[in-house]
């Protein structure tokens, strides 16, 4: 089975290559293939005493149902219970709870006879645990790793443009992917195009001649008076940006970070390095 890595807001799993995310929320993913809906997954942080079985009995639109033993085994240490969708929707699945992370999940698999073995493989690859200090993101054709202290605030997946925005502890980060690069850059240099598209590009030198990558920074001022003036004017104390072309994917990627205090530049550049078109 050809697979794709899905990593979104703290969870990750391997999904069949033909499953495409068609609805995306901060803690919700809906997948469909060429025949229609195949899977929903929802999740949230709950208390230690959460019981999947008790929750399903009270949940609106869901009813208890037998749980496939292979699905139960695939999730290992998760507490699980089977469920089905009430009403006309033909879907069954399970509720799961991880006592370590205190996350609760609801999986719904659509169709009168969901492909049990394929679903077992999806569940066996599922994880919401990570010892990595960063959060992995992988959806459609982009991947990135972001600091855990930066929470997802906005996302958009539109034809030609994907964007993820994060913030936390006075720092904001935006990762953007545009396509197709050849059409977007026709008759313009990357620097010219970036200055038109990104408000943070005011600090970009106009005499840059790199056609594939531009990077610019407005570092913290050594002057206390100037730092105060920036703060009073609402301008960030530290801004760091990069835009680059990925020729083999025909994509433009951009990463922009700003903060009210000096950032760890090396760490933020590592975040920029992790942003890829795959």
On whether both 59 and 165 belong to a single domain, the answer is no
- Count Cβ atoms within 10 A of the Cβ of residue 199 and give its class: 0-12 exposed, 13-18 middle, 19 or more buried: exposed
Rounded CA gap, 182 and 211, in Å? 12
In a domain, 79, yes or no: yes
- Count Cβ atoms within 10 A of the Cβ of residue 33 and give its class: 0-12 exposed, 13-18 middle, 19 or more buried: middle
Rounded CA gap, 94 and 100, in Å? 19
Residue 31: what are its φ and ψ, rounded to 5°? -115, 145
On whether both 151 and 266 belong to a single domain, the answer is yes
On whether both 120 and 142 belong to a single domain, the answer is no
Q: What is the pLDDT of residue 69?
A: 96
Rounded CA gap, 151 and 165, in Å? 8
Q: Would you say residue 4 has pLDDT above 90?
A: yes
On whether both 73 and 103 belong to a single domain, the answer is yes
In a domain, 100, yes or no: yes
Question: Would you place residue 232 in the very low, low, confident or very high pLDDT band (cuts 50, 70, 90)?
Answer: low
Q: What mean pLDDT is reported for the chain?
A: 92
In a domain, 35, yes or no: yes
On whether both 191 and 271 belong to a single domain, the answer is yes
> Residue 243: helix, strand or coil by DSSP?
strand
On whether both 120 and 138 belong to a single domain, the answer is no
Contact of 116 with 68, CB cutoff 8 Å: yes
Last residue of a domain, one of 103, 124, 145: 124
Q: What is the CATH number of the domain that holds 14?
A: 3.40.1000.10
The number of distinct structural domains making up the chain is 2
On whether both 159 and 64 belong to a single domain, the answer is no
In a domain, 72, yes or no: yes
Within 8 A by CB and 6+ apart from 100, the residues are 77, 129
On whether both 25 and 105 belong to a single domain, the answer is yes
On whether both 162 and 106 belong to a single domain, the answer is no
- Positive or negative, the CA dihedral 218, 223, 227, 232 is negative
In a domain, 214, yes or no: yes
Token pair for residue 155? Answer: 């996302």
Question: Would you place residue 203 in the very low, low, confident or very high pLDDT band (cuts 50, 70, 90)?
Answer: confident
Q: What is the CATH number of the domain that holds 250?
A: 3.40.1000
Question: Would you place residue 20 in the very low, low, confident or very high pLDDT band (cuts 50, 70, 90)?
Answer: very high
pLDDT digits (tens, 9 = 90+) for 127-145: 998 888 899 999 999 999 9
Q: Tokens 């890595």 — which residue?
A: 5
Q: Would you say residue 103 has pLDDT above 90?
A: yes
* Segments forming the whole domain that contains residue 149: 134-277
In a domain, 68, yes or no: yes
On whether both 165 and 265 belong to a single domain, the answer is yes
Q: Would you say residue 226 has pLDDT above 70?
A: no
Please choose, from the candidates 270, 15, 254, the residue with its C-alpha nearest in 3D space to the C-alpha of residue 139.
15
Within 8 A by CB and 6+ apart from 219, the residues are 238, 262
Q: Would you say residue 199 has pLDDT above 90?
A: no
On whether both 73 and 145 belong to a single domain, the answer is no
Q: What is the pLDDT of residue 95?
A: 98
In a domain, 129, yes or no: no
Question: How confident is the model over 198-209, as a mean pLDDT?
Answer: 70
Last residue of a domain, one of 92, 124, 156: 124
Last residue of a domain, one of 76, 93, 124: 124
- Can you name the residues that pair with 242 across neighbouring β-strands? 215, 255
In a domain, 239, yes or no: yes
Question: Would you place residue 209 in the very low, low, confident or very high pLDDT band (cuts 50, 70, 90)?
Answer: low
Rounded CA gap, 40 and 122, in Å? 12
The conformation of residue 220, written as its DSSP 8-state character, comes to P
Residue 54: what are its φ and ψ, rounded to 5°? -65, -35
Q: What is the pLDDT of residue 114?
A: 84
Q: Would you say residue 264 has pLDDT above 70?
A: yes
On whether both 147 and 273 belong to a single domain, the answer is yes
| 187 compared with 124, residue with greater pLDDT | 124
Q: Within a 10 A sphere around the Cβ of 76, how many other Cβ atoms?
A: 12
Q: Within a 10 A sphere around the Cβ of 226, how many other Cβ atoms?
A: 12
């Amino acid at each position: 089975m050809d697979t794709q890595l899905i990593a979104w807001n703290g969870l990750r799993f391997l999904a069949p290559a033909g499953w495409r995310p068609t609805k995306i929320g901060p803690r919700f993913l809906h997948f469909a293939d060429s025949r229609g809906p195949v899977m929903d997954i929802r999740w949230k942080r709950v208390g230690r005493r959460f019981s999947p079985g008790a929750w399903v009995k009270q949940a609106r639109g869901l009813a208890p149902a037998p749980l496939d033993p292979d699905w139960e085994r695939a999730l290992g240490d998760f507490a699980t219970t089977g469920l089905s969708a009430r009403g006309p929707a033909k879907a069954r699945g399970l509720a799961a709870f991880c006592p370590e992370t205190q996350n609760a999940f609801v999986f719904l698999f659509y169709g009168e006879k969901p492909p049990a073995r394929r679903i077992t493989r999806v569940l066996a690859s599922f994880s919401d645990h990570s010892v990595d200090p960063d959060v992995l993101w992988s959806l459609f054709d982009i991947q990135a790793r972001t600091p855990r202290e930066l929470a997802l605030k906005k996302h958009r997946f539109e034809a030609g443009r994907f964007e993820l925005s994060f913030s936390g502890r006075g720092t904001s980060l935006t990762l953007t992917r545009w396509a197709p690069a050849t059409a977007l850059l026709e008759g313009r240099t990357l620097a010219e195009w970036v200055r038109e598209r990104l408000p943070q590009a005011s600090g970009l030198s106009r005499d840059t001649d790199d056609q594939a990558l531009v990077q610019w920074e407005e570092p913290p001022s050594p002057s206390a008076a100037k730092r105060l003036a920036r703060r009073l004017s609402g301008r960030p104390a530290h801004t760091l940006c990069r835009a680059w072309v990925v020729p083999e994917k025909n994509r433009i990627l951009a990463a922009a970070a700003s903060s009210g205090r000096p950032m760890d530049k090396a760490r933020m550049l590592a975040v920029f390095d992790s942003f890829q078109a795959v």
